[in-house]
Chain A
Amino acid sequence: NAGVTQTPKFQVLKTGQSMTLQCAQDMNHEYMSWYRQDPGMGLRLIHYSVGAGITDQGEVPNGYNVSRSTTEDFPLRLLSAAPSQTSVYFCASSYASGEETQYFGPGTRLLVL
């Protein structure tokens, strides 16, 4: 199993550009989520999904869109990047059985100029 994979590892964007951060898992997990990690802030939940076709907002959803067309993939879209979105982004997945262990991807470091 590859676990949770994320691409790209690192990206530089200009303000106003759009991009999609990819996340995939091969563990047949129902639950997937996106977090951003900022210095001194810990990790904050952006969006999450409890299964294909179902998504919901987390703590900091503004400026981000998600969709879940398959169990395996959960892409995060930035429609118009802003410098405040400079961060490290982590995708995570788990079985949706309640407080199950979450598995994290290696992260995508995003710099918005």
Chain B
Amino acid sequence: GNSVTQMEGPVTLSEEAFLTINCTYTATGYPSLFWYVQYPGEGLQLLLKATKADDKGSNKGFEATYRKETTSFHLEKGSVQVSDSAVYFCALAQGGSEKLVFGKGTKLTVNP
């Protein structure tokens, strides 16, 4: 079945550090890939998405590229801020479906 594996946290960084959160997936066909973010005490919000191979999703300084050859969708940001402290979830949706399969989440803490 479909699955998503993301790096385990927690991840603690200093402000302005470079961030990478790894995400790999297993799926049949060509899924769409997503990163969702959950700020403390809130629901999930879509951060970015990519729907086909080599697409790059970007938002709020975060980027992720859909790599079919390595079945990966790693999240990166060049300079994190304290306000980026949250839990980040990688997810996929199989072609034509709205059903999301989530990774376990990675908690990021950014210290001033």
A104 and B95: CB pair below 8 A? no
B98 and A94: CB pair below 8 A? yes
Closest CB in chain A relative to B11 CB, distance in Å: 15
CB < 8 Å A-B pair total: 58
Q: Does A31 contact B (CB under 8 A)?
A: yes
Q: Does A53 contact B (CB under 8 A)?
A: no
Chain B interface residue count, CB cutoff 8 Å, equals: 23
Closest B residue by C-beta to A96 = B98
Q: Which residues of A contact B105 (CB under 8 A)?
A: 42
Which residues of B14-66 are within 8 A (CB) of A?
32, 36, 42-46, 49, 51
A99 touches which one: B43, B51, B101, B104 (CB < 8 A)?
Answer: B51
B97 touches which one: A35, A99, A104, A106 (CB < 8 A)?
Answer: A99
B98 touches which one: A35, A44, A99, A106 (CB < 8 A)?
Answer: A99
List A residues at the B interface (Cβ < 8 Å): 4, 31, 33, 35, 40-45, 48, 50, 58, 90, 92, 94, 96, 98-102, 104-107
What would 7 A/B residue contacts be, using CB atoms closer than 8 Å? A43-B89, A45-B99, A48-B98, A98-B98, A99-B32, A102-B98, A104-B36
